[in-house]
Copies of this chain bind each other. A is one copy, B any other.
């Protein structure tokens, strides 16, 4: 393994984090909060270590999928480790495990919190907490792609490891240009949401932090009641933007270049809106009698469906108290997730389309055993490799899920709590049901279970394999063997 390039990439990541940590410092200055010093100190430390790590340029700038995955996994672990230090050092989150949990939850855009009282945090902490969502939503490495000089096919190996979805959609042949377009869309839409929320008479701080959480499909609120206490106009804006950030960004790319027909004909996007419409309709009919009026019921249904399917995790109603049908629908939506190529998590709509089409093809093969028909999407046959890797992804997902469920079962919590806690973390949502419901939090878990759930959050955000690879012994034994061979004559 080309360890020197991994070190180099990690150094760059830390330098970026140092720059990003300066923003909460600005917030601290504005609100005259002494906690700002901790952010400044960690920024300095992170910048220095980053500088030292990336000072020496690696001899070889080519790196393969393996290095891409390992670099990605370590980047996210490094980011989270340094990102949690201000919380821990300032004493705002006294336990290191909790601080790390909260930060991983932030960067992975999960939004599961261990805090029982969010409002007690300082403004700079609240800002940093929400800002991690925005950073994690699009991915740091995608950002890195714009500035780091890598050779040949190396860019795509880095992007493939971090991008959500079954296939990496290079919008334009050049990976750097793709990354730039993605960030422009991301930035533009975030600004638009901030402006709209300001028009709803929200304070700037609220508009900013809630927009960060929406854009990254994160879900950390800055109030204990999440979004419930904001005006209904505010809630509708958040609903719409949550759903918009769950759309495959390719659609926006097409729209940017006035290819509206191509954007509207995307099968995944159509299915995504179809699922949302059906889920809202059923939940609306289930709750409208018991909720205060038709308008409230519709708003609550739309908000919660948008929040769960995009894996954001904001809430305006305690859906844990809804009927079993509603709860079951929401649990199913947790797994479906948003579109590939969006900032959302979950298994992704396009994967489910491929899975359902695989089933259809199988049934067809019982009628015509010699047929070699390929699965099609948007009229074009899907590469066998994409179908295969989708199947493998799904299988791996279920196996990791089952193992996590088993690992946290030793706590003795009820099955629904355990099941939805794993579902809410591996799908990067945030709230689940019962003891991890929307009005609850994850603080009661033991440190062991918290580390299992942290693993799930990272595994979910990185689409499993980059993280699992770190736990695959041959990758280390082979590297060590090669290094030894070099030392021998």
Contacts and interface: CB of A to CB of B under 8 A. Distances in A.
A355 B415 contact: no
A367 B465 contact: no
Interface residues of A, number: 52
Contact of A359 (B395, B412, B415, B478): B395
B366 A414 contact: no
Interface stretch (A163-171, A190-198, A294-302, A469-477): A469-477
Contact of A391 (B366, B395, B399, B405): B395
One complex includes copies of this chain to the number of 2
B468 A363 contact: yes
A331 B405 CA distance: 10
A398 B399 contact: no
Contacts of A331: 415
A415 B418 contact: no
B355 A395 contact: yes
A413 interface: yes
A369 B160 CA distance: 14
Given A391-B391, A392-B391, A396-B359, A66 B411 contact: no
A77 to B, nearest CB: 18
A412 B355 contact: no
Nearest to A323: B412
B465 A399 contact: no
Nearest to A390: B395
Contacts of A323: 412
A69 interface: yes
A334 to B, nearest CB: 11
Contacts of A69: 366
Contacts of A409: 324-325, 327-329
A395 B415 CA distance: 23
Contacts of A394: 394-395, 398
A199 B22 CA distance: 81
A363 B472 contact: yes
A469 B324 contact: no
Contact of A465 (B324, B358, B366, B413): B366
Contact of A358 (B392, B406, B475): B392
Nearest to A434: B415
Contacts of A396: 359, 362
A405 B362 contact: no
A410 interface: yes
A416 interface: yes
A418 B478 contact: no
A324 B407 CA distance: 11
A406 B282 CA distance: 12
Given A355-B395, A359-B396, A399-B355, A415 B328 contact: yes
Contacts of A327: 409, 415
B405 A328 contact: yes
A231 B392 CA distance: 47
A367 B398 contact: no
Interface in A137-154: none
A387 B367 CA distance: 20
B366 A66 contact: yes
A416 to B, nearest CB: 5
Given A366-B469, A472-B363, A414 B358 contact: no
Contacts of A362: 389, 392, 396, 465
A468 B364 CA distance: 11
Given A358-B392, A414-B416, 9 more contacts: A65-B369, A66-B366, A325-B410, A328-B415, A329-B406, A332-B406, A359-B468, A366-B469, A391-B391
29 contacts: A64-B369, A65-B366, A66-B366, A66-B367, A324-B410, A324-B413, A324-B414, A324-B415, A325-B410, A325-B412, A327-B415, A328-B405, A328-B415, A329-B409, A335-B402, A355-B395, A356-B399, A359-B395, A359-B396, A359-B399, A362-B392, A363-B465, A363-B472, A366-B475, A367-B478, A391-B391, A391-B395, A394-B394, A394-B395
